[in-house]
Amino acid sequence: MVEFKLPDVGEGITEGEIVRWRVEVGQQVKEHQALVDVETDKALVELPSPVAGTIRELRGEPGKMVPVGAVLALIEEEKTAKTAGPAKPSTVGVVGELEEAQETSGETRAGEEPPILPRDRKRAEELGIDLRQVRGSGSQGRVTEKDLQMAAEKPTRPTVERVPLRGVRRTMAKTMAASAFSAVQATIMEQADGLALRQLRQREAAVAAERGVRLTWLPFIVKALTLALDHFPLLNSTYDPDKEEILQHRQVNIGFAVDTPDGLLVPVLRNVRSLSILDLAEALQDLTERARERKLAAAEFKGGTFTVSNYGALGGIWGTPVINPPEVAILGVGRIEETPVVRDGAVVARPLVPLSLTFDHRFIDGATAQRFLNDLVRHLEDPDIILLEN
């Protein structure tokens, strides 16, 4: 019998959440056939079978957190399948076997869930019933279908949904907490006149379309950001608290926040300095699509030196983005819209680009941060500089 364990997928992963079983007990599988989807704090991973054989036992329901090295399934290898004896029935509703609840002493401690059949547990979840508040009337205190019906009819039953903090949202919570309690964060804001940049974007949109790329404002902003970081390398740094060292990076790797159904992901676009505007547009589009489909590798979230949060894509104008540690700065980009401004004594409409720069005040003083933001605005308002310096 082969023990199928949660493997060490690297990148410091110590545990994962079972998302979906792709097989069931008694099913024959081929070597390398997908068995289960597991979500780590980095990515959604599809784990294959190490051997060909028959699934004899599955351990862990969807939603359960399991540590690396834990046995997830027992597989009877194909070469021994004909001579092996009958497998011990699973307790989770195998076809032809009686569905049984887990063994219990009959006592349920305060705060613990009573024993319940898997089908009734699913029904309890659908009804929003907190099982810890239900006293089972079945054998050994098991919660029955009748108990669930009575609990559902109680006018005072809880209406709060408990959502476990898992996967991406769990990682995001830890990262933001680390950022809030370590960096001394300050934010300055500025606006750039995007008229010349809009005209350039409109001229190049057809060329981008030929490559199947939608040319947005973001590639231009990222390119201008890269040139500004060349002038102010301190902002393209990370901090090592153990050695108390600031690491100024020669390579510019831009992370950018992507809103997904599972939470905020920050994939990293590497070596931005070497990419053209169209290359950037194509790469950003690709990373965004794969992030939302959870098809990015764990390595694609590593190595960032500066982050951009484009909350303007969702309608926001101003914000105070939170630094993504160990980086020392982050740029927020708001919604670009026509705004009345005064130019040469006349009121005209211009597309203004709202920019918010959050920086770690332990390492970057306000004057340096403002000069950096001024330099970024200069590149955005005169995009020909981008072509000259590139």
The residue from 32, 231, 249, 361 that is catalytic is 361
Preceding peptide of 326 cis, ω within 30°: yes
Task: Return d(Cα 73, Cα 198) in angstroms, integer.
Answer: 56
Instruction: Please provide the DSSP assignment of 322-353 as one string.
Output: PP-TTBSEEEEE---EEEEEEETTEEEEEEEE
Residue 47 forms beta bridges with which residues? Answer: 36
Task: Return d(Cα 252, Cα 269) in angstroms, integer.
Answer: 9
Residue with tokens 């040469």, as numbered in its chain? 344
DSSP E strand stretches across the chain: 2-5, 15-21, 28-29, 34-39, 44-48, 53-58, 65-67, 71-77, 185-193, 237-240, 245-248, 254-256, 258-260, 263-265, 268-269, 306-309, 329-333, 337-343, 346-360
Task: Verify whether residue 361 is a known catalytic residue.
Answer: yes
From the list 389, 388, 383, 332, the residue with the least C-alpha distance to 204 is: 383
- The β-bridge relationship of strands 306-309 and 329-333 is parallel
Please list the active-site residues.
361
